[in-house]
Chain A
Amino acid sequence: MKILTVLKRIFVFTILIFCSVPVLAQSVRISQIDTSSLLINQNVRLYVGLSDNKGLPITGCTADNFSLFESQDGKTYTRIPQITAFNPRANYESGINFLLLIDNSGSMYRSMKARGKFLKSTKIQHAKNAVATFLESVSNPEDTVGIAVYNTYYQCLSDPVKDKAKITRQLSEIQKPEGEAGYTEIYASLFRAVEEFKQVKGRKALIILSDGENRPYFLNTKKVHPDFGTKTFSYTEPVRYCQEEGISVFAINFGDPRERKERHLKEIAYETGGALFDARDESELRNVYSRIADQIVNEYMIDYPATMAPADKKFVKVVYGSGPLKKEASRFYFSSTVFGLPMKNFSLFMLIPLLASLCLAWILSQISFKNKRKEAFLEVLNAGQTKAVTKMFTLNKGRTVIGGSTRADMTIIGGPVPVKENHATIVFDKQKKNYTVICDGEITVNNKPVKKRVLESGDVLDVGGATIVFNDDRE
């Protein structure tokens, strides 16, 4: 009885797994996150690709097959309660950006072996032919193609461009590596390629042509690599980077199957949602382009409402299926706000600056800069071209002299009009309690020439080009 129950449970479990996952996926990838309507309707759009273990797109899934999660830190995820829109064939119109990464190590200059026979041409020649075949099949004029080569070094020959003829021309410029340049830095070059390729907007596919295993310069020579130093890249590093940037890697294998091959090339391709092709099979090579295009057309478009947790970048995780066979992919999108991140804790002390600013503004509004001087005085408002030795003079004597001599109470010198020693005298009339200006030289009061005049507070005197204001606010 016990055995029967266990068998029953295994059967139910297996059925459950197969019901929840329509087709087992080898890889899930988020190839693009579109946040252009995040501000308007809180919507985040994901383009999700599913591939089987041959790199073929998995079609026919529904929204129920996917679960979405968001995280502020990439560690603690919150489940998104609902998918607001789901489209099994993302309407893909813009082109695909390809980067061809060609092995240019020393071994590529050996003869190509196909179906047990050595061919006259070298592997690099075959690689070039494969690229030419690929370029011929690129049918969408919006597609762009870039080219880079690698051996000990990574070298970008052309950023992705629409002009395919340029890429064909670049092929002929690939030079045979000399001396220590012939090593094979596959992982490091792939990493570097992703670093440059991620700058390209839109869907990206990286096609790597390789004939052998990863042979890092540092490990084989014990010399420091001029670009990569002593760092040894693991194949998981470019894989993770590709996943983060939504780049699929399609690998084309060269050479005899009996030769030592890069054992991780298959994993790199499959884990990034790409596929592995055999260069000896020309018909397969011709299918590379249509395979990639097909995969992208069959991506799933998933919309969901973003969470409001504050973060400069938010991680989103897509889980396909459930149970032990589930596959997941994560990527982040930009979620920084104009003001940035909040402080850790809310505190009422935050109100203090507001109160302080209101107090300061109130204090400023109370300052009126009232003139408190109650005695009569003269003030040089504008010295003009003259040198006014005294800027301000209190009229506390019966007679005050404005003149060009240092003996004067108020000295004005150096102006365009000569100032006499006793140019103007201001006399206080004790009975009438007013001041009168009596002039020896030429002066104006309120722009009128005068010889003698009773002054009013605010009268403007021009003495030799200096503007002097008379003030008497004793009342």
Chain B
Amino acid sequence: MSLLKRRIFLCLIGICAGLGAWSVAEMILCFQVDFPSYLVFTLSLGGVFGGIMGGFFGSSDGIIMSNKYRIRTGIIHGILFGALGGVLGFLTGQAVLFIAGEYLLHSMKEFNRIGLPVSRALGWSLLGLFAGVAEGIRARSVEKIRVGIIGGLSGGLLGGLALEYARIIFPDIMLARLTGLLILGVCIGIMYGFAEARLSFGVFTLLNGRYKGKDFLVNQRRLDVGDSDSCDIVLKGYREVNPMHAKVHVKKDEVFIKSSGDGRAPLFVNDDKISSHRLKIGDVIKIGTAKLLYHYK
């Protein structure tokens, strides 16, 4: 999948996240009066809302890579971290509202137009942050976490502002909140995709075979290459590929590739058999029958 398709997928997953989270949140809202306190209500709403957003975004890498194993682990991590983010984001947002709201309601003339939406958007950005870092934590990658922080935070803030202003501009439209949430989801998707591309060291593009054209971003310090589902670069459907064939690692901003299993797995760079190699832009890597081009995007 090319980077463009990857971004489109992220946006579509963002739409799924917004749609799903809206549905559940609206149902919880209907039962607000039955909650014992604002704290329990906020924790429940934030946890469920964030969990759903996180679940969808956590599955995105697996969906894009067509990797069921990664979809499963991504959903679990996404739900956990999304729920945590939702709880923290909603608690922060609600605390700002209750503490500042009473004062601002009486004092700031522009409160409804500026103060309230901005403070709420900060809560959304916190939620976006946690939904974004789920994949990085799953992959145990500082780089991916960084992508998640930047993408999630900025997407959450932009989407949150859009959501809040959608509600102000169209207060009577029942679906304003849904529209806003869809924008929130898309914004997180776009910003995540943007941050992902900006912060990656390079890209491996599959040149042949069943998954020709698929891009693998080098956006974490270590990547496993092989035909096992747990690999970061999964080469399924290619002959002579071992489950753990090669490892890519980043050291001081330089990208290296080496064959796994003490160099026994055959690995070629530019038709030369190597056991370890520092990659340059334009290098052609051959693993089994799969060929990959290392380049910038």
A residues apposed to B, CB below 8 Å: 33-36, 38-42, 198-201, 245, 305-310, 313, 333-343, 345-346, 350-354, 356-358, 360-361, 364-365, 367-371, 381-382, 445-448, 456-460, 467, 469, 471-473
* Stretch touching chain A among B16-24, B144-152, B250-258: B16-24
CA distance A34 to B98 in the complex (A): 9
* Stretch touching chain A among B135-143, B223-231, B259-267, B279-287: B279-287
Q: Are A35 and B33 in contact (CB under 8 A)?
A: no
Residue of A334, A353, A382, A457 near B101 (CB, 8 A) is: A334
CA distance A456 to B59 in the complex (A): 35
Given contacts A354-B19, A358-B20, 13 further A-B contacts (CB under 8 A): A35-B102, A42-B36, A198-B106, A198-B107, A308-B41, A335-B98, A338-B42, A353-B178, A364-B12, A365-B71, A369-B214, A447-B282, A447-B284
Q: Does B158 contact A (CB under 8 A)?
A: no
Residue of B23, B31, B99, B123 near A351 (CB, 8 A) is: B23
B245 → chain A, closest Cβ, in Å? 16
Given A350-B26, A469-B207, A357 and B290 touching (CB < 8 A)?
Answer: no
Which A residues touch B36, using CB under 8 A? 42, 308
Q: Can you list 16 contacts pairing A with B, beta carbon distance less than 8 Å?
A: A39-B38, A39-B91, A39-B95, A41-B39, A305-B37, A339-B25, A340-B177, A343-B26, A358-B16, A361-B59, A365-B66, A365-B68, A370-B211, A459-B284, A469-B207, A473-B208
Q: Are B97 and A336 in contact (CB under 8 A)?
A: yes
Q: Are B26 and A333 in contact (CB under 8 A)?
A: no
Query: Of residues 13 to 51 in B, which have CB atoms within 8 Å of A's CB atoms?
Result: 13, 15-17, 19-20, 22-27, 29-39, 41-42, 45-46, 49
Q: Are A471 and B208 in contact (CB under 8 A)?
A: yes
CA distance A35 to B29 in the complex (A): 21
Q: Are A337 and B97 in contact (CB under 8 A)?
A: yes
Which A residues touch B207, using CB under 8 A? 381, 457-458, 460, 469, 471
Q: Are A371 and B210 in contact (CB under 8 A)?
A: yes
Interface size class for chain B?
35 or more
B237 → chain A, closest Cβ, in Å? 8
A-B pairs under 8 A by CB, number: 209
Residue of A342, A357, A458 near B20 (CB, 8 A) is: A357
- Closest 9 A/B residue pairs (Cβ): A458-B291, A458-B208, A334-B101, A342-B29, A354-B23, A357-B20, A458-B207, A346-B30, A357-B19
CA distance A38 to B94 in the complex (A): 10
CA distance A411 to B123 in the complex (A): 55
A452 → chain B, closest Cβ, in Å? 15
Q: Does B1 contact A (CB under 8 A)?
A: yes
CA distance A469 to B210 in the complex (A): 15
Q: Does B5 contact A (CB under 8 A)?
A: yes
Q: Which of B16, B62, B106, B208 has the most CB of A within 10 A?
A: B106
CA distance A454 to B91 in the complex (A): 65
Given A308-B41, A340-B167, A364-B13, A35 and B98 touching (CB < 8 A)?
Answer: yes
A260 → chain B, closest Cβ, in Å? 35
Which A residues touch B209, using CB under 8 A? 371, 457-458, 473
CA distance A143 to B32 in the complex (A): 41
Q: Does B108 contact A (CB under 8 A)?
A: yes
Which B residues touch A39, using CB under 8 A? 38-39, 42, 91, 94-95, 98
Which A residues touch B114, using CB under 8 A? none
Q: Which of A343, A356, A364 has the most CB of B within 10 A?
A: A364
CA distance A392 to B120 in the complex (A): 50
Which B residues touch A341, using CB under 8 A? 29
CA distance A208 to B234 in the complex (A): 79
Q: Does B93 contact A (CB under 8 A)?
A: yes
Q: Does B169 contact A (CB under 8 A)?
A: no
Q: Are B102 and A33 in contact (CB under 8 A)?
A: yes
Q: Are B20 and A343 in contact (CB under 8 A)?
A: no
Given A33-B102, A245-B106, A361 and B210 touching (CB < 8 A)?
Answer: no
Which A residues touch B68, using CB under 8 A? 365
Q: Are B270 and A448 in contact (CB under 8 A)?
A: yes
B216 → chain A, closest Cβ, in Å? 13
Q: Are B29 and A369 in contact (CB under 8 A)?
A: no
A272 → chain B, closest Cβ, in Å? 16
Q: Are B107 and A200 in contact (CB under 8 A)?
A: yes
Query: Of residues 266 to 297 in B, which have CB atoms within 8 Å of A's CB atoms?
Result: 270-271, 282-284, 286, 289-291, 293, 295
Q: Does B63 contact A (CB under 8 A)?
A: yes
Q: Does B192 contact A (CB under 8 A)?
A: no
Map CB proximity to A onto B188-226 as digits: 1 under 8 Å, 0 otherwise: 000000000000000001011111111000000000000
Which B residues touch A343, using CB under 8 A? 26, 29-30, 174
Given A308-B37, A333-B102, A354 and B42 touching (CB < 8 A)?
Answer: no
Residue of A33, A346, A382 near B27 (CB, 8 A) is: A346
Q: Are A459 and B20 in contact (CB under 8 A)?
A: no
Q: Are B45 and A361 in contact (CB under 8 A)?
A: no
